[in-house]
Amino acid sequence: MPTDKENSDANQMWGGRFSSRPDHIMEEINASIGFDQRLAAQDVAGSKAHARMLAAVDVISDADADAICQGLDQVLGEIQRGEFEFSRALEDIHMNVEARLKALIGEPAGRLHTARSRNDQVATDFRLWLRQRLDEQLAQTDALIGALLDQAEAGADIVMPGFTHLQSAQPVVWGHHMLAYVEMFGRDRGRLEDARKRLNECPLGAAALAGTSFPIDRDATAAALGFDRPTANSIDSVSARDFALEYLSAATIMATHLSRLAEEIVIWCSAQFRFVTISDAFSTGSSIMPQKRNPDAAELMRAKVGRIMGALVGLATVMKGLPLAYSKDMQEDKERVFDAADALSLCLAAAAGVVADLSPNAERLAESAGAGFSTATDLADWLVRELGLPFRDAHHVTGSLVRAAEEKGVGLEGLSLPEMQAVHDKIDERVFSVLGVENSVKSRISYGGTAPDQVRAQIKRWRAARS
């Protein structure tokens, strides 16, 4: 239960309207300090910028601003060292910090909250926190892209099967497959950058919802906190959480890409595929089956999308019916974003580690690349290119040749020239030049194709863009 001092502090923070503390059930549902203490550094930074601005426009004295800033530094130090005692009776990080500041410096602490509200304060803190996480995740995305590019470069000549419907379709090279994920995560990076750009406006000074009558300088606080500009509408400043929704949307899309990569790794590691191996660093064993090497890191990456997507749906549901401006419902924003950001950061780190750790089995990949008549499209293209057949006719001829090969129990290259000519008499010995998987991938020279030279060109483009 709260102490008498905590009750007294809480009543003072609430103001003279209240004569007794809230019921314990109200306190339980209302308190956010259990999770918003993660905003401590951002809260102190915003308060220091606000205090310095108030002194600069002569709303408070320089001496009070100095005392406030020094006291806030002491409060943050206590929090960072684990010496700070958080109080649920004081509800949130803002009131906890302010109460401790008052205990340290006395009367000047009461001047800090001039010309601001917890509404604009939390909106500012939340943007500062999310901006920092975005910067970290942009760097993590770069690391993942770098690991994929390294794999692509090392495997630019390794032939593997390309799939549609998880059925063998056409041969590609390992490097080309890795570059597909490079493109995906490159777009994800762009979405994170866009989210950062739009959130980088400062709500501080919007106060509760209508602005303030004090002659504050919102450009100064925005600049001091690294924002591009102050927000332009005080109602929007405190009621908007679309910056969090945009982040969660971008995070969800990225998480689906991470999950697809993880799913392929799980499949590739299986005894049925044997396309890749991963080391002990990213595998676990079984408590009962000694032969098992489980790709648990990839499996957990695959699962985390549920948490991240759930956060997006949860926050969108919270926000969908709220009238302007601030409502206490919006307290439900932070836990979801905190959890999703933690999950995404962990997945990005795991993905970069697993990708760097992958060892493709070139022999097995090449063997599988030729299975399932994967050069059938090359044969059809050859019939169009060399014999002048309309593609639909070539498609029909190739289908007949595939059926003949199936009946004989061989690949297309296992049919003799007379057997092929029995289907179409114009086929000649040149056809065999397109039936090998190496020849197939080398022929895919269109921009963005799987030809090794095209793969190396794309790797060069990406490395130049990152330098």
* Single-letter amino acid code for the residue at 91: E
| Three-class DSSP category at 274 | coil
| Residues making up the chain, counted from first to last | 467
Active site residue 286: yes
> Which residue of the set 270, 286, 327, 359 is catalytic?
286
Q: How many CB atoms lie within 10 A of CB 425?
A: 8
**What residues contact residue 194 under an 8 Å CB cut-off, 6+ apart?**
246, 250
Question: Do residues 440 and 434 lie in contact, with contact meaning Cβ atoms separated by under 8 Å?
Answer: yes
CA distance 461 to 149: 11
Tokens of 320: 């969908």
Tokens of 132: 């920092």
Phi, psi of 173 (to 5 degrees): -110, 155
Pairing state of beta strands 167-173 and 229-230? Answer: unpaired
Phi, psi of 454 (to 5 degrees): -70, -40
CA distance 117 to 413: 76
Question: Do residues 118 and 155 lie in contact, with contact meaning Cβ atoms separated by under 8 Å?
Answer: no
- For 60-98, b/e burial (b = at least 16 CB within 10 A) is beeebbebbbebbeebbeebeeeebebbbbbbbbbbbbb
Active site residue 165: yes
Alpha carbons within 13 A on the beta-carbon side of 182: 25
> Which residue of the set 165, 213, 287, 446 is catalytic?
165
Tokens of 75: 């409060």
Residues recognised as catalytic: 165, 286
